[in-house]
Amino acid sequence: YNAQKKQTGNYFSSKIWNFRMKCHLCDNWFEIETDPKNTEYVVKSGAKKKMKNGKEEKIRAQSNCLMQM
């Protein structure tokens, strides 16, 4: 992905990064942000996490496309 990367804060000495990307199947944008406290990514807008059996599996765009990471 050709993402726009922006530092949005700090958690102790770790930087918090925000990534804004365009879906490769459609023209929709989505944003994710690093969460160093919980060692995961947080979906900010344009997508949602797909959960399976209580565990996160993939991030999927909210549009009608079938984009999967």
Q: Name the residue with tokens 């949602």.
A: 48
CA-angle at 62, arms to 8 and 42, nearest 5° = 30
CA–CA distance, 20 with 5 (Å, rounded to integer):
7
Which tens digit of pLDDT belongs to each residue from 20-58?
Answer: 998 888 888 999 999 999 988 888 998 877 766 655 555
Exposure pattern of 32-57 as b/e (b: 16+ CB <10 Å)?
bbbeeeeeebebeebbeeeeeeeeee
Longest alpha-carbon distance in the chain = 39
Which tens digit of pLDDT belongs to each residue from 2-25?
Answer: 889 999 999 999 999 999 998 888
